[in-house]
Amino acid sequence: MAFLVLLTLAMQGVSRAEMGTADPGPSSVPIPTNVTIESYNMKPIVYWEYQIMPQVPVFTVEVKTYGYGDWIVACTNISHRYCNISDHVNDPLNSLWVRVKARVGQKESAYAKSEEFTVCQHGKIEPPKLGIRKEEKQITIDIFHPSVFVNGEGQEVDYYDEITCYIIVYNVYVRVNKSEILYKVSTKMEDDCNEIQCQLTVPVPSLNSQYCVSAEGVLNVWGVTTEKSEEICVTISNSSIKDLCGKKCHYRDKT
């Protein structure tokens, strides 16, 4: 019995000591503000703001992902105001949260928490790259998948067979003489698409027309689209083909 009392007292002592370090009372260190997450090509980076202090503050950033209850430290004692949390994204369909605290000397601020962020829903993805080839009575448009969906070996990115986000269809905008036609290319059509690209063939019924093409990918979730590519143009005439390619044109003339 005496032993039990002693043990209880000892445990109380421990928990008081823990509380003493974890909760130093009202903190004089201001809390970071505007914790925001931006993601490009599924690589999220956290940004925050902080007031000017006489002493240099350092920051600690923690990430929590849906399904994994714990806060995981992503950056510790950094003096810049961003933290790359790319390595903490296990599935870009999962929600994640971020919290940031400041330290000045030995004192810490409370945590500033971000809004919920889902990489596939709130992040940006680069546009597909385009190429146009002129063939007899038709043009063939090559739509190269954004690099984030293609790995080094030219295979589709495989998130360990988890259901994740991918491009389900490309919207391809073909503008002829100021009128625009929308084509939809499903990435599931094996005749048109492979791991690297999709192809669309458009008939060219009349000569002396300028065809301008741009495209965007539509993800399988939330109707999210990639950025739209720059427009590239090709002029079809009966004698010569004059192409007015955009910056990233993969033009290959078959004639």
Ligand X SMILES: *[C@@H]1O[C@H](CO)[C@@H](O)[C@H](O)[C@H]1NC(C)=O
Under the rule (CB under 6 A), what is the footprint of ligand X? 33-34, 43, 45, 49, 76-77, 84, 86-87, 176-177, 206-209, 238-239
To the nearest whole angstrom, how small is the minimum distance from the Cβ of residue 81 to ligand X?
11
Q: How far apart are CA 233 and CA 249, in angstroms?
A: 9
Q: E-assigned strands of 89-223?
A: 95-104, 107-108, 112-113, 117-118, 129-135, 138-144, 167-176, 179-186, 197-203, 209-219
Based on CB atoms, which residue is closest to ligand X, 102 or 232?
Answer: 102
To the nearest whole angstrom, how small is the minimum distance from the Cβ of residue 243 to ligand X?
17
To the nearest whole angstrom, how small is the minimum distance from the Cβ of residue 200 to ligand X?
17
To the nearest whole angstrom, how small is the minimum distance from the Cβ of residue 173 to ligand X?
15
Based on CB atoms, which residue is closest to ligand X, 119 or 193?
Answer: 119
Based on CB atoms, which residue is closest to ligand X, 109 or 187?
Answer: 109
To the nearest whole angstrom, how small is the minimum distance from the Cβ of residue 62 to ligand X?
12
CB atoms within 10 A of CB 143: 26
- How many angstroms from the chain centroid is the CA of residue 139? 32
Based on CB atoms, which residue is closest to ligand X, 83 or 198?
Answer: 83
Q: E-assigned strands of 17-128?
A: 33-40, 43-49, 58-65, 68-78, 82-84, 95-104, 107-108, 112-113, 117-118
To the nearest whole angstrom, how small is the minimum distance from the Cβ of residue 92 to ligand X?
13
Q: How far apart are CA 193 and CA 166, in angstroms?
A: 14
Positive or negative: CA dihedral 159, 164, 169, 172:
negative
| Residue at shortest CB range from ligand X | 206
To the nearest whole angstrom, how small is the minimum distance from the Cβ of residue 11 to ligand X?
26
β-bridge mates for residue 175, sequence order? 180, 212
Based on CB atoms, which residue is closest to ligand X, 39 or 164?
Answer: 39
CB atoms within 10 A of CB 24: 13
Based on CB atoms, which residue is closest to ligand X, 138 or 208?
Answer: 208
> For residue 97, which of 82, 117, 70, 123 has the smallest C-alpha distance?
117
Based on CB atoms, which residue is closest to ligand X, 87 or 195?
Answer: 87
CB atoms within 10 A of CB 44: 24
> For residue 90, which of 70, 76, 75 has the smallest C-alpha distance?
70
